[in-house]
Structure 1
């Protein structure tokens, strides 16, 4: 029933493996192997990790357990559809047997690998050959086969639940612990069809009799509602009708003030200073590129040199931290035995689950307080605990400091981008590739599609990104593809007018931003396609596609969004979400990503690749202080980077996230 089993070291060295099916033996040599997915997602990215964890990939269920003291990983792969309940017991028995037989030989190999930083040198190769020879001498393959047969036999001997027993469980659950007439107390008694029918009737009568007073079916008539007020104290009702609205009615409802006239007759003047925040402006790099400021949880601005603490403050903080650590260590030492003290001083104390459990529970609560989704907090803490069980605690280091250090490393692994976040470089590469591929041909514009739920700030942050691109000298075309929401096109028109005024303020002569719109009620995919064609013909560098907000559970609207993606194949699909919604952000992002992957490319005969979310923009980041858990949750779910965060209402209120800043805010 198994497909594959292996024992390996965390450095990547395989000590023993066996594939039970030819299909998996050939699959194991490819990057699509479930074992390679385990290495990538667990040991490199730090996801889905636990002492005895599992995940499914391409029809296979991968289960594993670890021995952190020696850095060993025991892996079992089997078909996901098979209910193999003995797998945890098999992994535990296999680990116990393997360590009992070969622990001293493994320790020699691990010490050799540690001395060479995991590189398989001649000494390590010699230690590996000694271990494999010992495995042959002890007939390890036969020992594992016997262990597997015993585990399979235990599952075969375990009584399976029959439909009758399942029916009894449903009855007991429905009765909420109350005794039901006709149901025997012992679980091994048989139940006849007549008894089942009697029990069902008893439950129905009980449910009918339990309805509250005044409820449906009680025969009682609800009391009449009190009569409405009449006379002068009553609220005047609004008149609704089909009659034409008079000029007096319009004047009564007009609360707007007339716009002041300007000398040139252009209407209301634009206050350029109100559109940007000089304090939030970014900086020019050495090559002339405009870079937005970095987000910093201590103030939301770029961390300047004068904001750094002085050397005296750093030394004082270190002394204070040392005093706290010493106090924790003294408390631990005072409550331990002399053998425990000696093991701490010699660096031989081995961390156990009992040592880590209270600290991990506190750390999990801390992450949830930082707005991290509950299930992700649990997985992160399980990952840290699994990595520390069996490790030696050296010197006078406290358990809490070890957990914090390991959690910091895990957070850094998750948050580190797996793809490029340099949009300017990507734009330049596409422009160069188009010029080289087609002689004398116009380069294709770089397209960004902004998606998300209603009201998160897609149009506003699209305009902030547009201002950043204008600052870098790029020509930008904004495509108004939100043809549903009233005022969506007018909102973008105002943004384009404001950005044009800022462009004049910056002294740029050529018009670099335009709006492409076709009104309301039109097909968004067709408008986006026409906008891209127009941008190519008029030598625009970037096209920003604004889409209508939609809820993640609305399948027809998600299919329409996937159609826009399929027809136009944008370079990046950017999900815009709020930083203050916590678990809801994870649900939104997960369902958007899944819907795009399920529906994009439909009807193209498999020629169009499936698309998902390529990047994230988090809005309203200035409202959360240091509760940046949504950034961790979103990155953990999709593995995609956070490109920018919105921190205000002006066009300069756009920030870049640095991994170390997020980690500091989460652990603060």
Structure 2
């Protein structure tokens, strides 16, 4: 049976609601009700294209009446798996609008008028007389619900009976199927050939190992002759082999003396791009720059083209509509002209063009489908006027949908979170723990490199950072972090030299338990007054269950303050699969480790951002999947090549031609 039904206006006015159980009635009046969660997690974030919403054992489904801005919601226990809910929602909407259409139209018009004039809307039940107007709806709804429940019960108890013309039992005689018997004979012949070929191959392999006539080596009476080992020729650079001086210049081992001469041999200017340095605020904090979207081509070229167009009649026509022209996005709405109410048939080709545009911007196909469905749901039933009005309405709907998806639910100020923890009061007997951040992701996306960029940003803000080398699998992973720590210690707080005390590497070599190394690093950071511990982990594919369990163990044992997923801006559909499986595996496996509630991904860092130009759809895909914000994007090869994302810039890039 159902638990809760409601009909409400998008502005928050509840026209009718009913709870079918006492538990549902108590839950509906609280902030944790499924309907309130639906509004908070789905409707306000533009995720209306989702087929359903699940929360605390409840499943919630909904539908819209956009012409009157109404929302019809049904909630029920997920375990029941009711099959008639969608049909019930459609019937509710159709019957409710037929019975109370004029009253609802007057109500919506008055709400709009009050909003435009700036008056406070007092839409109480007494002022609008909802009880008297909708008193017949309860009986109508009961009849609708009973009809659907009775039909579902009949379908549930009726079992389909398959009747065949031939009532005789099936025969086991293979001779009645000549084609099948011939296929079996051919298969047997092929198997015999394969077996013989395998025997010949094994016999030849045994002879090569030294055995006689296929016998293994330890059964052969003959002593095999020892082959002369081939000597490896030394690789040469050009004409001559490298000298000892050449090899010494390439020696970056840890045993090399760290004197002023060797330190000066490194070019510090190559580690920092002064053009991409962040800015200092009034409080002295170092902030990385914002990523800004710039259209290709300069203003002078655009002015020359505009002047050339204005000299012709065609140019005049283009110029007259340039103010409302939307380029490729706008052209797909040109077919919607005249004052009319938009229907699904009208919007279908438009939404298809919109989906193709989003996919060209590197948005994953699944996400593009859902975004376009959500935009379509907000437009069906809307009245539009001329072509310009339609363009503005559809562009506004798409822009609003993308903006809601990209707007973070939590704070993206990582520095504020760090300082809040470090400055919070503690009992005198308790020692302060450092702020820990774990970087996770697939192989080769740049976790270690971008971890060092984040480390540079933290050092510039006066924090002491400990880097934990928990990638104990990949060869050279520890050495890579050692080089980064050496470089960062030379750069200093203000880009100067000598800042050894602000960054340090904690490592235990290879082949060790990553969770244990991270725990030791956090303890070491606590005992030595480090402010932040950055935990580098080994890259792993999202489908490798043993490695994902090991990563979840690291999270469950150490409980880091932030789990940042590092992904590439170049991926499209793969980003959805990677993020979904990483987040699900971390939540499932970390909760099964005995720590209670599982931990998921808290934020994202997108690398190689400078390689995609305006094809920034990966940001939309990643944010849609997890609902978590993108904290930084990497856009270069130096420690200063780190950027923050602004929602407006990403929306502009996605909507650009």
| Class of the TM-score when normalised by the shorter of the 2 chains | 0.7 to 0.9
- Range that drifts further, 279-288 or 147-156: 147-156
- Range that drifts further, 6-15 or 507-516: 507-516
Aligned to 1:484: 473
Aligned to 1:142: 139
- Range that drifts further, 65-74 or 119-128: 119-128
Q: Does 1:130 align with 2:129?
A: yes
Q: Is the 8 A contact 2:329 2:354 kept in 1?
A: no
5 Å-filtered alignment, 1:190-589, equals 194-195=169-170, 205=180, 208=183, 249=232, 251=234, 257-260=246-249, 264=260, 266=262, 269-298=265-294, 321-322=322-323, 324=325, 341=338, 344=339, 349-394=340-385, 396-433=387-424, 436-439=425-428, 443-503=432-492, 506-507=496-497, 511-589=501-579
Q: Once the 2 structures are TM-superposed, how far is the Cα of residue 605 of structure 1 from its aligned partner?
A: 5.8
In 1, Cα distance between the equivalents of 2:647 and 2:623? 11
- Range that drifts further, 355-364 or 275-284: 275-284
Q: Once the 2 structures are TM-superposed, how far is the Cα of residue 79 of structure 1 from its aligned partner?
A: 3.0
Unaligned runs of at least 5 residues, structure 1: 166-187, 228-240, 301-305
- Range that drifts further, 126-135 or 510-519: 126-135
SS at match of 2:139: helix
Kindly provide the CA deviation profile for residues 64-93 of structure 1, in whole angstroms up to 9, marking residues without a partner as x. 111111111111223334343322222222
Aligned to 2:114: 116
SS at match of 1:258: helix
Q: Does 1:666 align with 2:641?
A: no
Q: Is the 8 A contact 2:44 2:404 kept in 1?
A: yes
Q: Once the 2 structures are TM-superposed, how far is the Cα of residue 23 of structure 1 from its aligned partner?
A: 2.6
Q: 1:152 to 1:471 in 2, by over 3 A?
A: same
Q: Does 1:29 align with 2:29?
A: yes
In 2, Cα distance between the equivalents of 1:552 and 1:327? 36
Aligned to 2:602: 614
Aligned to 2:53: 55
In 2, Cα distance between the equivalents of 1:104 and 1:42? 29
Q: 1:199 to 1:23 in 2, by over 3 A?
A: farther
Aligned to 2:207: none
In 1, Cα distance between the equivalents of 2:640 and 2:121? 58
Q: Once the 2 structures are TM-superposed, how far is the Cα of residue 311 of structure 1 from its aligned partner?
A: 12
Q: Is the 8 A contact 1:112 1:124 kept in 2?
A: no
Q: 1:203 to 1:30 in 2, by over 3 A?
A: farther
In 2, Cα distance between the equivalents of 1:631 and 1:472? 27
Q: 1:245 to 1:425 in 2, by over 3 A?
A: farther
Aligned length: 608
Q: 1:130 to 1:281 in 2, by over 3 A?
A: same
Q: Is the 8 A contact 1:42 1:49 kept in 2?
A: no
Q: Is the 8 A contact 2:490 2:499 kept in 1?
A: no
Q: Once the 2 structures are TM-superposed, how far is the Cα of residue 158 of structure 1 from its aligned partner?
A: 4.9
Q: Once the 2 structures are TM-superposed, how far is the Cα of residue 22 of structure 1 from its aligned partner?
A: 2.3
In angstroms, what is the RMSD of aligned CA positions? 4.2
In 2, Cα distance between the equivalents of 1:329 and 1:268? 57
SS at match of 1:6: strand
| Aligned with 1:600 (options 590, 598, 609) | 590
Q: Once the 2 structures are TM-superposed, how far is the Cα of residue 277 of structure 1 from its aligned partner?
A: 1.6
In 2, Cα distance between the equivalents of 1:564 and 1:332? 51
Unaligned runs of at least 5 residues, structure 2: 205-224, 252-256, 308-317
In 1, Cα distance between the equivalents of 2:391 and 2:422? 51
In 2, Cα distance between the equivalents of 1:461 and 1:658? 19
TM-score (normalizing by structure 1):
0.80
Q: 1:298 to 1:212 in 2, by over 3 A?
A: farther
TM-score (normalizing by structure 2):
0.82
Q: Once the 2 structures are TM-superposed, how far is the Cα of residue 209 of structure 1 from its aligned partner?
A: 6.9
Q: Once the 2 structures are TM-superposed, how far is the Cα of residue 640 of structure 1 from its aligned partner?
A: 0.6
SS at match of 1:322: coil
In 2, Cα distance between the equivalents of 1:399 and 1:191? 62
Q: 1:454 to 1:386 in 2, by over 3 A?
A: same
| Aligned with 1:92 (options 90, 93, 99) | 90
Q: Once the 2 structures are TM-superposed, how far is the Cα of residue 2 of structure 1 from its aligned partner?
A: 1.8
Kindly provide the CA deviation profile for residues 204-260 of structure 1, in whole angstroms up to 9, marking residues without a partner as x. 9399479899965899998999x9xxxxxxxxxxxxx999999x7485599874234
Kindly provide the CA deviation profile for residues 363-404 of structure 1, in whole angstroms up to 9, marking residues without a partner as x. 011111111111111110000000011112145535344222
In 1, Cα distance between the equivalents of 2:560 and 2:344? 48
In 1, Cα distance between the equivalents of 2:492 and 2:331? 64
In 2, Cα distance between the equivalents of 1:21 and 1:245? 84
Q: Is the 8 A contact 2:490 2:500 kept in 1?
A: no
In 1, Cα distance between the equivalents of 2:586 and 2:331? 56
Aligned to 1:657: 645
Aligned to 2:613: 625
SS at match of 2:536: strand
In 2, Cα distance between the equivalents of 1:587 and 1:292? 30
Kindly provide the CA deviation profile for residues 23-75 of structure 1, in whole angstroms up to 9, marking residues without a partner as x. 3222223333222222123221111436xx42333333322111111111111
- Range that drifts further, 379-388 or 554-563: 554-563
Q: Is the 8 A contact 1:457 1:619 kept in 2?
A: yes
Q: Once the 2 structures are TM-superposed, how far is the Cα of residue 20 of structure 1 from its aligned partner?
A: 1.6
In 1, Cα distance between the equivalents of 2:160 and 2:399? 49
Q: Once the 2 structures are TM-superposed, how far is the Cα of residue 536 of structure 1 from its aligned partner?
A: 1.8
Q: 1:594 to 1:211 in 2, by over 3 A?
A: farther
SS at match of 1:544: strand
Kindly provide the CA deviation profile for residues 510-554 of structure 1, in whole angstroms up to 9, marking residues without a partner as x. 621111111112221221122112212222111111111111122
In 2, Cα distance between the equivalents of 1:562 and 1:327? 45
| Aligned with 1:152 (options 143, 149, 152) | 149
In 1, Cα distance between the equivalents of 2:178 and 2:356? 42
In 2, Cα distance between the equivalents of 1:135 and 1:429? 52
Q: Once the 2 structures are TM-superposed, how far is the Cα of residue 596 of structure 1 from its aligned partner?
A: 1.2
- Range that drifts further, 210-219 or 156-165: 210-219
In 1, Cα distance between the equivalents of 2:77 and 2:390? 39
In 1, Cα distance between the equivalents of 2:156 and 2:165? 15
In 2, Cα distance between the equivalents of 1:390 and 1:484? 57
SS at match of 1:194: coil
Q: 1:211 to 1:143 in 2, by over 3 A?
A: farther
Q: 1:132 to 1:509 in 2, by over 3 A?
A: same
